[in-house]
Amino acid sequence: MEAIHIFVKTSLPKYLRSLNVPKTFGGFSKLSGEDWVNLVPLVLCTAVFVMAIFRIFLGGSRKKNALPKVNQSIMKEDPKVVTQMDIEDIGEKIAFCRCWRSKKFPLCDGTHNKHNAEANDNVGPLLLRRAEGEK
């Protein structure tokens, strides 16, 4: 703890007083090589601080695998949701769910309307229908 005390109370103020910081941006062009070398720790610490702030406030939502899952509840025990139907069983028309929220999945039950209203989204079903005259 004493090392931190000495750093904060003695070393850091001494270092900051020793810096030749110009009063204008134009003054940076008049700094010597030694002045620039002395500024390196301050610039690096400032950059790390700014990056940490950005990471905390902006980067937190970009964590790896942090994307929301599309499938919230359907057949979660299975490694992959695959549904097979015979074409003959489809009838005249059928609506397949593409929002993954239907209680009758893979068929659409209209739940996408609630999701769209809540999330300001625009998902909807895949509608299949037989062409006229087709069996």
Query: 71 with 83: CB under 8 angstroms?
Result: no
Other CB atoms within a 10 A radius of the CB of residue 102 amount to 20
Q: Does 116 bind ligand FES (CB under 6 A)?
A: no
Query: 22 with 30: CB under 8 angstroms?
Result: yes
Catalytic residue among 63, 80, 93, 135: 80
Q: CA–CA separation, 135 vs 127, rounded Å?
A: 17
CB of 66 to ligand FES, least distance (A): 24
- Closer by beta carbon to ligand FES, 38 or else 111: 111
Q: CA–CA separation, 108 vs 97, rounded Å?
A: 4
Helix, strand, or coil (residue 129): strand
Catalytic annotation present for 14: no
Q: Which residues pair with 93 in a beta bridge?
A: 129
Q: Does 106 bind ligand FES (CB under 6 A)?
A: no
Over the window 62 to 101, marking each residue x when it contacts ligand FES by CB under 6 A and - when it does not, the resulting string is -----------------------------------xxx-x
Q: Which of 23, 18, 58 is nearest to 42 (CA)?
A: 18
- Closer by beta carbon to ligand FES, 10 or else 113: 113
CB of 96 to ligand FES, least distance (A): 8
Binding site for ligand FES (CB under 6 A): 97-99, 101-102, 108-112, 124-125
Active site residues: 80
